[in-house]
Amino acid sequence: MAVSLTGTRISAVALPWFVLVTTGSATRTGLVAFVQMAPYVLVKAFTGPLVDRVGPRPVSWTTDLVSAVAAAAVPVCHALHLLSFPLLLALVAVIGAARGPGDLAKEVMVPEAAERGGVPLERATGLSGVIERLASTVGPAAGGSLVALLGPLTGLVVNAGCFALGSVVIGLALPRGTGRPATSADPPGDAAPGDDATPTNAAPAGYWQRFGEGFTFLRREPLLLAVVVTLGVTNLLDAAMSTVLVPVWADASGRGPAAIGLVGSAMGAAAVAGSLIAAGVAHRLPRRTVFFAGFLLAGAPRFLVLALGAPLGVVLAVFAVSGFGAGFINPVLGAVLFERVPRPLLGRVNALGDSLSWAGIPLGGLLAGAAVTALGLTPVLLACACAYFLTTNLAGLRPEWRAMDRGRERPVPSPTG
């Protein structure tokens, strides 16, 4: 996870800057983000039954390898003067299509890691979050430095190398028994075998039946649906921030790509601290309070500080506070997901939930690019801050969020009735 996610974060700096400086168009920068994330979301949504059937390990290393080849093709084609904008879009789409199932496969192995380590789910998901946050710290810093010193194509070369190394680690170093395909005999998270949450169909099901089981389960879970809707809005706004608004702010303010790396690293470093604390103490804290307090810090303040034209030091401080709050969110979400979803359905439900909550991400950069072109940077930043604040505070008033607290877990029916 550390290797592949670091490569992704380097690309998140190098690729938008490459498009922005070669085309000078915020709209084209947003279009590249859309073309990458749309396949990510779509392919991930339909890969869940495959991950549940063949196991996450082979899916992980093969998709990392595909990502490495596509990422390496960008600088190679550019060096050969073959990289037209349509070809760039095609290669970016391949990367996005491979990253979806690759990320899903790694996420699905987290509860098995928790079982092997004998630790609470909050701690396991917290440590997984630490890895993600470390990548979000090292990646932007490395990406910003590489782009500033050697150009954006160097960052894309390093990105391809990270994907290739991730494929090797999973394919060769991971124990062979890790991530075996789930069966109906597997207990659902912390439930005992024979619980009502365990699917009862022993015969192998077809792809669409398995996909439908995951969809039916998710549709019957009000808490998970509430999470999906909330994350759908916040992820759209986060994508607008990272893919368009921050690069345009860095360009307009004259601070350049190094500033992109600095703000990403400031937020990532603080998020590492938040995730480490969450890994140690989150299983003792009230989940709802931690979840919404984290969003209060992680959301609107970032947009406001950029809109106000604050000095770079103030921007870095606000992003650091936001990162600290964000570090507490995913450990809570991961623990709730792994507790409420039966293990044999984990790939399908996780894939659908992630894809629906990420559905706005492809539109985030596209809409932000068009809005900045039409209205300017500051009005868009203010509108995003308002939307983020209202979404993450009004959502907490709905009754289904009470099920997030410990002691409110309930047995859930199997997808077959």
Domain at 2-180+205-404: CATH code: 1.20.1250.20
Q: Beta-strand (E) ranges in 177-324?
A: none
The predicted model gives 45-51 an average pLDDT of 78
The Cα 359–Cα 229 span in angstroms is: 10
118 φ/ψ sector (left φ>0, alpha ψ -120 to 50, else beta) = left
Query: In the structure, what pLDDT confidence band is assigned to residue 305 with cuts at 50, 70 and 90?
Result: very high
> pLDDT for 113-165, tens place per residue?
788 888 777 677 777 777 877 776 777 777 777 777 777 777 788 888 888 88
From 262, 278, 329, select the one nearest 299 (Cα to Cα): 329
**415 Cβ contact list (under 8 Å, min separation 6):** 199, 212, 213, 214, 216, 217, 345
- DSSP state for residue 242 in the 8-state scheme: I
**327 Cβ contact list (under 8 Å, min separation 6):** 129, 133, 270, 271, 272, 273, 274, 275, 276, 277, 278, 294
Task: Delimit the domains of the chain by residue range.
Answer: 2-180+205-404
Question: Which run of H or of E encompasses 54?
Answer: helix 26-54
Contact 391, 233 (CB under 8 A): yes
Highest mean pLDDT among 49-58, 72-81, 113-122, 280-289: 72-81
Give the C-alpha distances (Å, rounded to integers) separating 1 from 60, 155, 169, 353, 372.
Answer: 10, 19, 10, 20, 34
Query: In the structure, what pLDDT confidence band is assigned to residue 318 with cuts at 50, 70 and 90?
Result: very high
The predicted model gives 193-218 an average pLDDT of 62
Q: Is pLDDT at 416 greater than 50 in this prediction? A: no
